[in-house]
């Protein structure tokens, strides 16, 4: 009965049903705890954006709502940096339409100062709940430069902001601490793979910011240490397993996390590791085998070899959760 106790212990972390906050940042912060479902962006054979395919992929999850799950488009898997501002707006519109107010939507924004400003504005106009704002691709020479970049982007909109402070600079905890004074900064995606950044932020993690671990491997360590959300590409296939994994992590049950990963997450993750470079394209091909939108990756991404498609389809059909 220990498992039942673990799940009950985390049941009070936040309400199980999502209600669109519409400007209530505190409520949105609670809504973004849980699994961040990082979706790929479907493209057509000519590499044009398949906006309707993305809408349908998001609607698939909205029709089968999983508690404590957010939809992220244009994130690490969404090929954001292959898009122009117009395509990013169309992507945001499609995601919001597909979610239909049933799931929180986070839209990626980045690519440099002016483009990031345009993209967060696109996310807000599309009706997204929050934007995931990437660090400038050219980096920053100082903590003050990084702060001013993020500050300007955050202050240009009223929707929630999840910071994505990429890079190994040791100034990030101090920059995030300063940015947390802005009312719409609600969390940060931690790319470090460890727990030092989260622990350095102390009370901000407990009372103010949602610490988002990056992927299952990082989540195994970060969720028991205080992270309250994690990103997953596998949630596209096994959202209920990802939720179970998250709940056990939030309750500090690493043994249970490892068991869920080994039995329910690792098997479907093989669509990404069948061949080097399949981190995005393997997911797309696997989704296509399940009658969802995928398409090619844009250059310079690695395309799926045709002979691998039956293997990817076999993995997807065997391990993806059924309706």
Domain boundary among 194, 224, 251: 251
User: Is 90 within the bounds of a domain?
Assistant: yes
Active site residue 189: yes
| pLDDT class of 1 with cuts at 50, 70, 90 | very low
Domain boundary among 222, 251, 280: 251
User: Is 86 within the bounds of a domain?
Assistant: yes
Report the pLDDT averaged over residues 123-133: 98
141 or 13, which is more confident: 141
List Cα–Cα distances, 72 to 12, 99, 206, 233, in angstroms: 24, 11, 23, 10
Domain boundary among 220, 251, 282: 251
| Same domain as 277, residue 140 | no
User: Is 285 within the bounds of a domain?
Assistant: yes
| Same domain as 227, residue 116 | yes
117 or 76, which is more confident: 117
Alpha-carbon gap, residue 317 to 296, rounded angstroms: 20
| Same domain as 124, residue 63 | yes
| pLDDT class of 23 with cuts at 50, 70, 90 | low
List Cα–Cα distances, 298 to 46, 51, 133, 314, in angstroms: 9, 15, 21, 25
Which of 147, 149, 189, 230 is catalytic? The answer is 189
Q: Could you report the per-residue pLDDT of 156-196, keeping only the tens digit for each?
A: 999 999 999 988 789 999 999 999 999 999 999 999 999 99
| Same domain as 224, residue 94 | yes
| Same domain as 158, residue 298 | no
What confidence score (pLDDT) does residue 66 get?
82
| Same domain as 298, residue 172 | no
3-state SS class at 319: helix
Q: How many domains, in total, are found in the chain?
A: 2
% of the chain residues with pLDDT over 90:
86
Which residues make Cβ contacts (< 8 Å) with residue 171, sequence separation at least 6? 142, 143, 146
| Same domain as 300, residue 247 | no
What confidence score (pLDDT) does residue 18 get?
60
User: Is 240 within the bounds of a domain?
Assistant: yes
Residue 136 is part of which domain span? 14-251
What confidence score (pLDDT) does residue 21 get?
56
3-state SS class at 240: helix
* Omega before residue 300 within 30° of 0, cis: yes
User: Is 323 within the bounds of a domain?
Assistant: no
* Structure tokens belonging to residue 204: 């901000």
Active site residue 164: yes
9 or 63, which is more confident: 63
* Host H or E run for residue 143: helix 143-155
Report the pLDDT averaged over residues 93-108: 97
Q: Could you report the per-residue pLDDT of 229-259, keeping only the tens digit for each?
A: 999 999 999 999 999 999 999 999 999 999 9
| Same domain as 155, residue 300 | no
Q: Could you report the per-residue pLDDT of 253-273, keeping only the tens digit for each?
A: 999 999 999 999 999 999 999
| Same domain as 216, residue 115 | yes
Burial class of residue 305 (count of CB atoms within 10 Å of its CB; 0-12, 13-18, 19+): middle
| Same domain as 276, residue 246 | no
User: Is 102 within the bounds of a domain?
Assistant: yes
User: Is 259 within the bounds of a domain?
Assistant: no
| Same domain as 28, residue 145 | yes
User: Is 147 within the bounds of a domain?
Assistant: yes
Burial class of residue 88 (count of CB atoms within 10 Å of its CB; 0-12, 13-18, 19+): buried
Length of the chain: 323
Which of 164, 230, 278, 319 is catalytic? The answer is 164
* Structure tokens belonging to residue 8: 């009950």
- Give the CATH number for residue 207: 3.20.20.70
Alpha-carbon gap, residue 206 to 198, rounded angstroms: 10
| Same domain as 284, residue 241 | no
Query: Residue 301 pLDDT more than 70?
Result: yes
DSSP assigned state of 279: H
Q: How far from the centroid of its chain's Cα atoms is residue 7's Cα? A: 23
Query: Residue 6 pLDDT more than 90?
Result: no
């Amino acid at each position: 009965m220990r498992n039942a106790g673990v799940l009950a212990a985390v049941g009070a972390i936040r309400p199980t049903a999502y209600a669109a906050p519409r400007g209530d940042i505190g409520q949105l912060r609670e809504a973004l705890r849980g699994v961040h479902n990082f979706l790929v962006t479907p493209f057509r054979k000519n590499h044009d954006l398949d906006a309707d395919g993305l809408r349908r992929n998001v609607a698939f999850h909205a029709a089968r709502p999983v508690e404590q799950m957010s939809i992220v488009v244009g994130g690490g898997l969404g090929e954001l940096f292959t898009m122009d501002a117009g395509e990013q707006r169309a992507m945001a519109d499609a995601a919001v339409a597909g979610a239909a107010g049933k799931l929180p939507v986070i839209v990626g924004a980045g690519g440099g100062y002016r483009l990031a400003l345009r993209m967060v504005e696109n996310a807000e106009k599309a009706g997204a709940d929050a934007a995931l704002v990437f660090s400038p691709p050219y980096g920053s020479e100082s903590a003050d430069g990084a702060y001013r970049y993020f500050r300007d982007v955050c202050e240009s909109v009223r929707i929630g902001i999840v910071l994505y402070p990429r890079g190994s600079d040791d100034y990030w905890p101090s920059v995030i601490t300063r940015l947390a004074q802005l009312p719409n900064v609600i969390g940060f995606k931690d790319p470090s793979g460890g727990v030092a950044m989260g622990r350095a932020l102390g009370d901000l993690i407990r009372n103010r910011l949602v610490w988002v671990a990056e992927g299952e491997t990082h989540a195994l360590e970060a969720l028991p240490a205080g992270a309250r959300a994690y990103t997953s590409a596998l949630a596209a296939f096994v959202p209920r397993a990802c939720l179970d994994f998250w709940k056990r992590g939030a309750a500090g049950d690493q043994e249970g996390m490892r068991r869920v990963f080994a039995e329910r997450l690792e098997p479907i993750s093989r669509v990404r590791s069948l061949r080097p470079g399949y981190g995005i394209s393997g997911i797309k091909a696997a989704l296509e085998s399940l009658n969802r939108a995928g398409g090619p990756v844009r250059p310079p991404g690695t395309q799926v070899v045709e002979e691998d498609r039956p293997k990817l389809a076999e993995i997807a059909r065997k391990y993806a959760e059924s309706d």
